[in-house]
Amino acid sequence: MSLKKRSDNWIDGLRGIAALIVVTYHLCSAFANWLNSPALTENGVVFLFQQPFLRLIVAGRFSVSLFFLITGYVNSVQSIKHIRNGEQSGVLTKLSTNTIIRAARLIVPTNMAILGIWLVCQLNGFRFACSVDAPWIRVVASAGPPGPTFHDAIIGLFRNWVMFWQNGVSPYDPTYWTIPFFLKASMLVYLTLLATTFTTRRFTKLLLISLYCFAWLGGEALMELPTYAGMFLAVLNADYGSQATSIVPAPISAMMILSGLFFASYPDENSSWAPWSRALDLMGQYIVPTGGDVNRYINSLGTTLFVYGMFFSRDGRRVLAHPFMNFLGRISFPIYLLHDTLIRTVLSWVIYGKCLFEKAPVDKEGKPMYYQRGGFTTFAVAIPLFYITLIYVAYLWTLHVDPVCEKLISWLRKKAFGENDSEKDGLEAVGEGILGGYLKS
């Protein structure tokens, strides 16, 4: 798989950041759930990584908003550029191709990953994790028990392949719940592009702003707000291109980045326990519609400020375009697909290694107890080893699984659009949402 640089590879850096935050969020949910609160108790002791900015390691909702904004941007940026160049007919042609093929580039590798997780499940690979003292790991490990018979297991796999894309519930990996929403966000982008293919620049901007406001008032903070924000960013990119970094003064773009990260620090739980999060709560009472999820709104707003600040910042783009950040972005989707399986297997085996070959403990009354995790030294070794393993396995996925997925998608493309359809998509975007390396450059 080619890892050559792309013109908008700062977006890959954002994608890499989002993927790593998802991983750290789930690790902390498993072993340090108290980090989801801004303090240990109301107005009580505050640990270092419960402070604003530093607590972004557990900003799971921030990473989800970031993925949606990236989806809105990368799925529209090239089409908008071609519309500006007067190539509307070509854009309409490619919208048909993109709607089918890019959806396949999300569905095929996800179902491939579900197949692998299903196999691990049938081999009882998650059985040990069901008895550890980390509640989050126990929940995700016990979500999909092995089928009682081979026939039941096969039926369960096929049912999951189909139903997962309707309700987002995967018994084999509950962390996949966001993926169908990314597919829906892509369809939302294509519909909006279809509606604005022949509109004027001013009307396109006005429509996107109106859709954003409509989504804000309608309570659609999870998917629609960041997706429309990403599309509007693509319009700004078509207007200014690389000159965007010289339009806004550096102090202002820096302030946008910092304020965005501050908003994104909004805790998932017990936001009333610290003064700074109470202030965000108070702000939410004034700007969030009645019944809206304040956490989603504040995180969406913070994500938008952060990404727009990066868009206007030359130094910010330079950091995000670093080769390592670019590499993480290219393997971000495999990281997303594989991390929970590795947590439930390899990481659990290392953290609870001393109990791996022991019988399940019981108390004096014979009731089952949970395996106890290792100490500080165990974590100091296990966590870095886990990240190294995850990144390496994700990279191997891009080398060995991606080509298989692309062959299946190529076959589908020929069946859908005919044998003479070109494999090279001239209007293809720089990436698709969390699909770091799935789109050809």
What pLDDT, on a 0 to 100 scale, did the predictor assign at position 428? 41
- Domain boundaries defined on the chain: 10-351+381-417
Residue among 437, 440, 360, 439 nearest 19 (CA): 437
Which residues, listed in sequence order, are joined to residue 363 by a DSSP beta bridge? none
28-85 pLDDT, tens per residue?
Answer: 999 999 999 999 999 899 999 999 999 999 999 999 999 999 999 999 999 999 998 8
| 287 residue type, one letter | I
Q: How confident is the model at residue 144 (pLDDT cuts 50, 70, 90)?
A: confident
φ, ψ of residue 433 in degrees (nearest 5):
50, -120
What pLDDT, on a 0 to 100 scale, did the predictor assign at position 438? 39
Tell me which residue has tokens 């910092």.
258
Enter the tokens of residue 372.
Answer: 């106890």
| 126 residue type, one letter | F
Contacts of 376 (CB under 8 A, 6+ apart): none
Instruction: Tell whether the model's pLDDT for residue 422 goes beyond 70.
Output: no
pLDDT-above-70 percentage for the chain: 93
In whole angstroms, give the CA distance from residue 437 to residue 441. 9
Kindly report the number of other CB atoms within 10 A of residue 138's CB atom: 19
| 10 residue type, one letter | W
- What average pLDDT does range 107-133 have in this prediction? 94
Residue among 44, 54, 47 nearest 21 (CA): 54
User: Which of 56-70, 142-156, 263-277, 404-418 has the least mean pLDDT?
Assistant: 142-156
Length of the chain, in residues: 441
Query: What single-letter DSSP state applies at residue 265?
Result: T
Q: Is 132 helix (H, G, I), strand (E, B) or coil?
A: strand
Tell me which residue has tokens 């008895």.
131
Q: Which carries the bigger pLDDT value, residue 365 or residue 61?
A: 61
Residue among 225, 235, 237, 314 nearest 263 (CA): 225
pTM score > 0.75 for this model?
Answer: yes
User: Which of 2-6, 124-128, 413-417, 431-435 has the least mean pLDDT?
Assistant: 431-435
Work out the mean pLDDT of the chain and round it to a whole number. 90
Mark residue 244 as left, alpha or beta (left: phi above 0; alpha: psi -120 to 50; beta: remaining): alpha
In whole angstroms, give the CA distance from residue 170 to residue 419. 35
193-240 pLDDT, tens per residue?
Answer: 999 999 999 999 999 999 999 999 999 999 999 999 999 999 999 999
Give the angle 304-307-308 at the CA atoms, nearest 5°: 80
97 Cα distance to chain centroid: 24
Asked if 348 and 383 touch (Cβ cutoff 8 Å), the reply is: no
Query: What single-letter DSSP state applies at residue 432?
Result: B
What pLDDT, on a 0 to 100 scale, did the predictor assign at position 129? 93
pLDDT-above-90 percentage for the chain: 78
C-alpha torsion angle, residues 172, 13, 74, 185 (rounded to 10): 30
Q: Which carries the bigger pLDDT value, residue 3 or residue 260?
A: 260
- What average pLDDT does range 251-262 have in this prediction? 97
Asked if 421 and 413 touch (Cβ cutoff 8 Å), the reply is: yes
What pLDDT, on a 0 to 100 scale, did the predictor assign at position 420? 62
Q: Which carries the bigger pLDDT value, residue 19 or residue 9?
A: 19
- What average pLDDT does range 15-20 have in this prediction? 94
Q: How confident is the model at residue 425 (pLDDT cuts 50, 70, 90)?
A: very low
Q: Which carries the bigger pLDDT value, residue 168 or residue 358?
A: 168
- What average pLDDT does range 96-120 have in this prediction? 93
In whole angstroms, give the CA distance from residue 95 to residue 79. 9
Q: What is the DSSP string of 193-221?
A: HHHHTTS-HHHHHHHHHHHHHHHHHHT-T
Q: Is 154 helix (H, G, I), strand (E, B) or coil?
A: helix
Q: How confident is the model at residue 419 (pLDDT cuts 50, 70, 90)?
A: low
Asked if 299 and 68 touch (Cβ cutoff 8 Å), the reply is: no
Contacts of 336 (CB under 8 A, 6+ apart): 19, 22, 434
What pLDDT, on a 0 to 100 scale, did the predictor assign at position 6? 52
371-385 pLDDT, tens per residue?
Answer: 999 999 999 999 999
In whole angstroms, give the CA distance from residue 430 to residue 436. 9
Residue among 398, 333, 409 nearest 97 (CA): 409
What pLDDT, on a 0 to 100 scale, did the predictor assign at position 430? 37
Q: How confident is the model at residue 431 (pLDDT cuts 50, 70, 90)?
A: very low
Instruction: Tell whether the model's pLDDT for residue 358 goes beyond 80.
Output: no
φ, ψ of residue 268 in degrees (nearest 5):
-70, -30
φ, ψ of residue 119 in degrees (nearest 5):
-65, -45
